[in-house]
Amino acid sequence: MLLLVAALLLLGTVLGTVAHAPLPVTLVAAGVIALWLTVFAVRERYGRRRHTSAH
């Protein structure tokens, strides 16, 4: 949960600076965030399946 709060705070900071950043930098940052969210979603999905089948 703490990681989520930190990510949201970082996202707020990044969104504030995006208006001043060049487009390629913004696109790279967006790609990194999208990749991180995809990895997180996949880990959550497969992690929950493993835990539910063990019970």
Domain count, the chain: 1
For position 55, what pLDDT does the model report?
56
Q: Tell me if 25 sits within 8 A of 47, measured CB to CB.
A: no
Could you tell me how many residues make up the chain? 55
Domain that holds residue 8: 2-54
* Residue 51: both structure tokens together: 């835990």
pLDDT in tens, the chain (55 residues): 788 888 888 888 877 766 778 889 888 988 999 999 999 999 998 887 665 555 5
